[in-house]
Amino acid sequence: MAYNSYKPPVRSRVATEPPPVVSIVVDDRQLLQYAAGVAADFRAGATDRPVRPERDYDADLIRAFGRELPERGCAPDAAVDELIAAAGPGLMANVGPRFFGFVVGGTVPAAAAADMLAAGWDQNGFNAVLSPAAAAAEACAGRWLRQLLGIADTASVGFVTGGQEANTVGIAAGRHQVLAAAGWDVEADGLAGAPRVRVVAGAERHATIDRTLRLLGLGTSALEVVATDGNGAIDIADLRRVVTAGDGPLIVCLQAGNVNTGACDDLRAACELVHEHDGWVHVDGAIGLWAAASPRLRHLVDGIELADSAGCDGHKWLNVGQDCGFVFCAHPQVHTAAVAHTAPYLTGSGEHAAPGDFVLGASRRARGFAVWAALRQLGAAGVADTVERCCRLAGRFATALTDGGLRVVNDVVLNQVLVDVGADAETVAAAVRADGTCWLGATTWRDRRLLRISVSNHSTTESDVDRSVAAILRAVQATAG
Ligand SMILES: *Cc1c(COP(=O)(O)O)cnc(C)c1O
């Protein structure tokens, strides 16, 4: 491939003489091809290298990136080479098939290439005047996403940074609606003197919900917490008890995909109940909403079409690059009333709201390219296959670790596995990471420290799971012995 043919000149890292100040572009094409080649080599190598980074943040990386702001610039290729040299030892191989930490997907090839194009094209995704292409890609990908995720085609969609922004935008729309229904214009008049908004959420909600309540001025003490069932989904009887115990403006936050167990709330029952009480339902579906893309798993998110707003992540299970999520709203006018820009010079795309009017950012990168490319590469069948395969592999982890004498404590309904290793989970997780075969973390669930495994990468195979199980069992043994 041509991209490997470019070899930048080797230079000493510390110049003895200041280099000449150069123009911005020496050879732009060669440099971009070189960078693409390095990225491609990294992706190809991620299967065989240790998953963990070689070096630590504190000890090495901070020093590698340097301390003083350089007075004089250097050639672009020199800057890129220094970046590659500094970053290389600190890179995590989460694009590879044996990263099971947090909930982090890899990147399907078309999405990685599309993100490189987005960098080269440098399109601003704010509106169709700035970039008709970026706006159209989002419009099309948004339609495809609604179809895949079981959301009405009339719903609005914003391409956000991830689940956090999706939850903040969705709940901001809810705040607008429930206060408007109570005769209060929160966007104009703020919250001082407003009717108090009740916020109801499950005991195992994601931390981004609490952060949203802080940011939106609703306050975490507004939270009324609902008990969860044995696997971490909301207890519908307790939801009824909490909802009927008070009145006034009401927002209920549900979850599709508990970040520890993968459990999904009973969306249909919960939405029907909340709507009887004129409440707004927001569904945090960062992980679990993808179940809708699979005919076999769709039942887990039955009723999603009844939600008023919902969030979902692209950079997790869709396997597009980091910094990509979606927020949907069944009431587009409410969505824009809550978050659209109001300056007249920022509109300019006719009567249609701009893509930037459904998110918190203004200028932003064109996230729609990578999403469109991933969906085009995978097709509906490919997305379903990715989701089903990850769930099947999570089941394989559970069976093999149980056979190995460990205890899986959750009902593995999705892609998440919680393991009681009978020893200090953090110590075992650290030993697994040091071994390098795979990467995973520990969590606390119901007062127990557990290993937490998330299978979210499209490229993970059965043999990756088997190798990782062996590594975990080795680490458990080493820790016990
Ligand atoms: C990951 C996650 C979030 C936060 O999403 P980001 O993309 O990291 O902002 C919110 N809720 C759930 C359930 C998640 O798994």
Answer with the residue of higher pLDDT: 326 or 16. Answer: 326
CA of 254 to the centre of ligand 1 (A): 13
Q: What is the token pair recorded at 371?
A: 């999403």
Q: What is the token pair recorded at 33?
A: 């091809």
- Any idea which residue has 């339902």 for tokens? 281
Give the residue whose CA is nearest to atom 3 of ligand 1: 163
From CA 267, how far away is CA 252, in angstroms rounded? Answer: 11
Q: Is the CB of 259 under 6 A from ligand 1?
A: yes
From CA 101, how far away is CA 466, in angstroms rounded? Answer: 17
Q: Is the CB of 257 under 6 A from ligand 1?
A: yes
Q: Is the CB of 208 under 6 A from ligand 1?
A: yes
Buried (b) or exposed (e) across 315-339, using 16+ Cβ within 10 A?
A: bbbbbbbeebbbbbbbbbebbbbbb
Atom of ligand 1 nearest to the CA of 325: 7
C-alpha angle 143-295-204 in degrees, rounded to nearest 5: 85
pLDDT at 245 over 70: yes
Give, for ligand 1, the residue of 205, 211, 215, 287 to mutate: max count of ligand atoms closer than 8 Å to Cβ: 287
Q: Is the CB of 97 under 6 A from ligand 1?
A: no
Q: Is the CB of 473 under 6 A from ligand 1?
A: no
| Percent of the chain whose predicted confidence (pLDDT) is above 90 | 90
Atom of ligand 1 nearest to the CA of 166: 9
> Which is nearest to 101 in space by CA: 426, 466, 461?
426
From CA 380, how far away is CA 374, in angstroms rounded? Answer: 10
Quote the DSSP letter at residue 224: E
Mean pLDDT of 407-412: 98
Mean pLDDT of 162-184: 98
CA of 400 to the centre of ligand 1 (A): 28
Mean pLDDT of 388-413: 98
From CA 159, how far away is CA 173, in angstroms rounded? Answer: 15
Q: Which of 6-15, 164-173, 347-356, 472-481 has the lowest mean pLDDT?
A: 6-15
Atom of ligand 1 nearest to the CA of 163: 5
pLDDT of 349? 45
pLDDT at 19 over 80: no
Mean pLDDT of 225-254: 98
- Any idea which residue has 């110590």 for tokens? 427
C-alpha angle 43-378-453 in degrees, rounded to nearest 5: 60
Q: Is the CB of 254 under 6 A from ligand 1?
A: no
Q: Is the CB of 454 under 6 A from ligand 1?
A: no
CA of 205 to the centre of ligand 1 (A): 10
Q: Catalogue the long-range contacts made by 76-84 (C-beta closer than 8 Å, 24 or more residues apart).
A: 76/22, 76/24, 76/25, 76/26, 76/28, 76/31, 77/8, 77/9, 77/26, 77/27, 77/30, 77/31, 77/34, 78/8, 78/11, 78/19, 80/8, 80/31, 80/34, 80/35, 81/8, 81/11, 82/13, 84/38
Q: Is the CB of 286 under 6 A from ligand 1?
A: yes
From CA 369, how far away is CA 373, in angstroms rounded? Answer: 6
pLDDT of 14? 47
Give the residue whose CA is nearest to atom 10 of ligand 1: 163
Q: Is the CB of 310 under 6 A from ligand 1?
A: no
Q: Is the CB of 414 under 6 A from ligand 1?
A: no
Which residues, 6 or more positions from 404, have their beta carbon under 8 angstroms from its beta carbon? 469, 472, 473, 476
Q: What is the token pair recorded at 210?
A: 């609490």
Neighbours of 24 (CB within 10 A): 7
Give the model's confidence band at 59: pLDDT under 50 very low, under 70 low, under 90 confident, else very high.
Answer: confident
